[in-house]
Each structure stands twice: as structure tokens, then as C-alpha cells.
Structure 1
Amino acid sequence: MTQAWNRWGQLIPLTVIEIQDCQVIQVKTPEREGFAALQLGAGWQKRKRLNKSAVRHFESRALPLKRYLREFKVTEDALLPVGTSITAAHFVPGQSVDVQGVTKGHGFQGVMKRWGFAGGNATHGNTKAHRTPGSMGGAAGSLFATRVFPGKKMPGRMGNNRRTAMGLTVYKVDRAHNLIYVKGSVPGVKGGHVRVVDTRHTRKKWAKNPLAPGPPPFPTFLPEDVTDATPDVMMMPEPEEDPLRN
């Protein structure tokens, strides 16, 4: 993560996401597959790390080998030809996105680290029960409820789950280096891969941003759209009033 300051002295935490050589690999249409979707590939991969069918999947389309493949459902009018590049200019500052990734794995942990339990007493007769969960209340006052209820917070594997950070705001787009800066944190470790889509949340404060300069390019930003007036770096407009005084 990194950070930025606006002119009102407000600290903005940012996460930098790099779009590594993202291209359309396969187009799925309602006539053939029954739905409209785009299969995108990103990153770089060695030939020896892919099986023959995966290599044939790329070489039959005259595309370089990719490390990641993800499918995105779209409308029929948003389908793009195979080989089209998806760059950071696909996004605009001010729009809201959902970022999906796999959280950090912490291995097998106890209840104090995994769930924030207080633990037992440090002294006063406590013996080998400093970090135990204590009584689980399995009986719960019933003669027939002598069991562990589903969902009980217990020791176990922590992290390594797929999670989605919803409604993150795109603060900055660096078209020259293919980077997007989003407000807040995203799931996963440093250097991990994430899936970025337009937000599906319906709250007005997330879906409609008054500071957004305009709708994103549809279906995407193409190389022929570049003009002399196209900036390499686009920033989210700053608020006219001091947000710390409201």
C-alpha cells in the first residue's frame, strides 16, 4: 500500500494494482455457449509450466502464454475481439469497483488469534489454560443438546479464503505504467493477483460518485482512442469543500 494527501490535508490510503499484459483470450456468445462472456488472460507464463491443451489454447489464437485466466460475464454489446488489450485506461478515477482476492493464510491458529478471545487468567491458580477457549456451553440448559453447535468459534485454519472488497473508489489511473490506485486495502498478500470488476453494490454512495469525471469507456479504452489531449495520469477530482469540516 501507499498513501496520498489532498489539498485539504486529508490522508488517503491507496493500494496499487498493476494490469499485466491483459488480453481477451476467448469470446463466449449466447448462440454458442448460451451466455455472453469474455475470457481474459494476464501475466506471463513459461511454456514448461503449461500442459499441451493450455498451450494450444493460446497458440491457436496467436496469443502469448498467460499465467492467469478469468472469465467475466458481459452484455452482448460489450463483447470484444480476441486479442484486444485491456489497460488501466479501462477505468476512470472516481468510479467504484469490487476487488476479489484470496486473503492471507495464517495456518492453524487458536481462538485468541483467530477470533479475538480474551483467554484465561495469567495467574491466580490458572494452570495450562491461559489461551484455551474455556467452556463451550454445549449443553445450553437442555438435556439433549450435549453437542457442539454448528458455527461454534473454535481453533482452526485462519485465512486463505476468497473475499471481495466492495465499493472501492478508483483514485488514480496511470496509463503510462498500466497502474490503477484504489482507496483502501484489497484482499491478499503483496504481489498477489486480484479480480477487479465494476461494483455490483446498489447503494447510491457507492454506485454514484459525484466527483466522478464521467462514465468509463465502453466497452473498453482502445488504442485508437488516444489523442494529444489524453493524459498519461488521471486523478480523481478533489472536493470543493473541506471534508474534515463537514
Structure 2
Amino acid sequence: MRIGLIAKKIGMSRFFDSHGVNQCATILQVDKCKILDIRNNEKNGYQALRLSFGLAEKFLSKPIKGFLKKQNAKSHLTSREFRVDNLGDYKIGDEIGVDNFEEGQFVDVSGNTIGKGFAGGMKRHNFSGNRATHGVSISHRSHGSTGQCQDPGKVFKGKKMAGRLGNVKRTIQNLLVLKVDKESNLIVLKGSVPGPKGSFIRVIDSTKGKKKIDPKALLKTEPTVSKSDSKKGEDPNKDNNKQDAEAKASGNNSVVKDDKPSAPTNDQGTVNDSNKVEGNEGKN
């Protein structure tokens, strides 16, 4: 596994690809992602790198200040751990930039969704609610029954009820990288990313891979024309016209288009037919 990145969600916009197709895109910004700590199998039981994002001079707790002082590192806004296979390629203080990813590859992104606060059953679980009239009073948007009677005498765990909506971790897989701007430290991804503007997003290589598909081909392929569309404007006599042109070029103006053999003729040019009588004998 390769190391990923911590990015900040700037917002959504449109992106026109090489064919002029308008793509819905999300813009992520990368800012001073430096390695703070290295976790190894001997000491921690697993291999990982702790990566920081940005700089922060305020609102730091004493444990974080002590950790930064020990690592001789500056304060940061947030940090995440990334599992890696090759710890020897990295050291504390190395900065990971947007060039860690390339245009055309697929990535997985993780972040916390937008928090909606306390929500009812209709908004949170898409319940239909009770009837508007005919015996329903006050409980039009209620979720209804929550369980049985004395047996079992409790509400089962996992029952869909009103509660806090949003602000949970979600992962979206196989998002295409449309653009990597090294000057502005921006990454443009196709589609949406969980979380509000300004939230921190974890970006890693796609775990499912799409190994049988060349991801760069999605940005370079030209639109194809189906066989049915290509034959709509063709001339039905195209083959016959081609034969006429070849015959004129060879000096033979008479082109036989029929495969049937011609009827035999006599010296006077008339057609010999056993059922017809030629000359004056037919009049007698």
C-alpha cells in the first residue's frame, strides 16, 4: 500500500474534459502534509505513517504540544495515519504533495458527512408518516409503534426512530482524478465527496483497483460511432457505382450487372427461341 494524502474540501464546480463534456467535480486542496511519526511492527505491531495537514498555533492540547516537541515538528490542524508497506522510503519531516497522485487514476475518499442535527423519522429514515385526517390527531409525522406489549417488554436495538442525522464517516470508492494542479496544490475529482466545505478528506489509492481498465484511456478516448449510425448516410448503389468506374477506367463501357447468362443469337442478331417462328414461315 502507498501513502495517501489529507486534503481540505474547497467546494464543487464544473470541469470540461478533452471532449468538451461538462463533468461535475470536487476541488480538494493539499497544504503542508508532512510525516510526523513512523509506526513499525517491532514497537507498534503494524506499519503506518502519521501525516499532518496545515499549521495551527492555537487550540492545541498539552499532549499534542508534548508530541510535537518530541518530534521537533510544528503544530498542525489535523493528522491521520496511513498504512504503508515500504517504511524505508520515508523519514520524519518528509512532505507529501499532490504529485503523489496522477491524472486518470482512481482514488478512494473518506470523510464525515454533513451534520443535520436531531431529525424525525420521516427525514431520517424516509418514513411516510400517518394520515393527514380521519382519526389522526397531532401525530401526523410520528414514526408509529416502537415495539410489542409486555412480551418482550422492551424496544429492540437498531429500531429506526428519531435521532441525530449526519456527521458520520463515509467512504466513496473509485473516483476519477480529473486534474492535478501542482502550482496551486489542488486535486480535482469527478463526482461528489462526503462532508461540508472546509472539512478534511482522506485520499488513498483505490483498493478495488480497476486493474483491467486503463484509467488514462477515459480522458483520451474519442467518441465512437455505431455501425447503424455510420450506414445511415451511405449510398445504396455505392458498390455498383464503384464497378462502373472501374470498367470505364479499363476501357470497357459495357458492364454486365446481371449474373444470368445471355440468350443465344443468330447471324441476323435476332434471338433464337424454340417457341418462336422466325422469318416469313411464321405468317403461313
User: Is the aligned partner of 1:43 residue 2:54?
Assistant: yes
State the Cα distance separating 1:208 from its structure 2 match: 4.8
State the Cα distance separating 1:9 from its structure 2 match: 5.0
Q: Which structure is richer in relative contact order (CA contacts within 8 A, separation 6 or more)? A: 1
How far apart, CA to CA, are the structure 1 residues paired with 2:119 and 2:165?
A: 6
Match in the other structure for 1:3: 14
How far apart, CA to CA, are the structure 1 residues paired with 2:30 and 2:206?
A: 18
Flag structure 2 segments of 5+ consecutive residues without an equivalent.
Answer: 1-11, 226-284
Match of 1:240 among 209, 222, 244: 222
The 3 A distance-change label for structure 1 pair 242 and 131 is farther
How far apart, CA to CA, are the structure 2 residues paired with 1:148 and 1:52?
A: 43
Show CA shifts across 1:92-112 (max 9, x none): 112111111111111111011
Instruction: Note if contact 1:38-1:79 (Cα within 8 Å) is conserved in structure 2.
Output: no
How far apart, CA to CA, are the structure 1 residues paired with 2:47 and 2:185?
A: 27
State the Cα distance separating 1:130 from its structure 2 match: 1.6
State the Cα distance separating 1:120 from its structure 2 match: 2.1
How far apart, CA to CA, are the structure 2 residues paired with 1:110 and 1:149?
A: 18
Aligned pairs for 1:75-86 (under 5 A) are 75-76=85-86, 79-86=89-96
Identity over aligned pairs, percent: 37
Instruction: Note if contact 1:36-1:79 (Cα within 8 Å) is conserved in structure 2.
Output: no
Match in the other structure for 1:212: 216
Flag structure 1 segments of 5+ consecutive residues without an equivalent.
Answer: 214-235
Aligned pairs for 1:162-173 (under 5 A) are 162-173=169-180
| Bigger radius of gyration among the two | 2
Query: Helix, strand or coil for the counterpart of 1:49?
Result: coil
Match in the other structure for 1:148: 155
Instruction: Note if contact 1:27-1:39 (Cα within 8 Å) is conserved in structure 2.
Output: yes
Query: What letter is aligned with 2:174?
Result: G
TM-score, normalized by length of structure 2? 0.67
The 3 A distance-change label for structure 1 pair 33 and 134 is closer
Show CA shifts across 1:178-210 (max 9, x none): 1111111111111111111112236x3xx5542
State the Cα distance separating 1:125 from its structure 2 match: 4.3
Instruction: Note if contact 1:20-1:178 (Cα within 8 Å) is conserved in structure 2.
Output: yes
RMSD of equivalent CA atoms: 2.7
The worse-fitting range, judged by mean Cα deviation, of 179-188 and 77-86 is 77-86
TM-score, normalized by length of structure 1? 0.77
State the Cα distance separating 1:143 from its structure 2 match: 8.6
Instruction: Note if contact 2:36-2:50 (Cα within 8 Å) is conserved in structure 1.
Output: yes
How many residues end up aligned between the 2 structures? 215
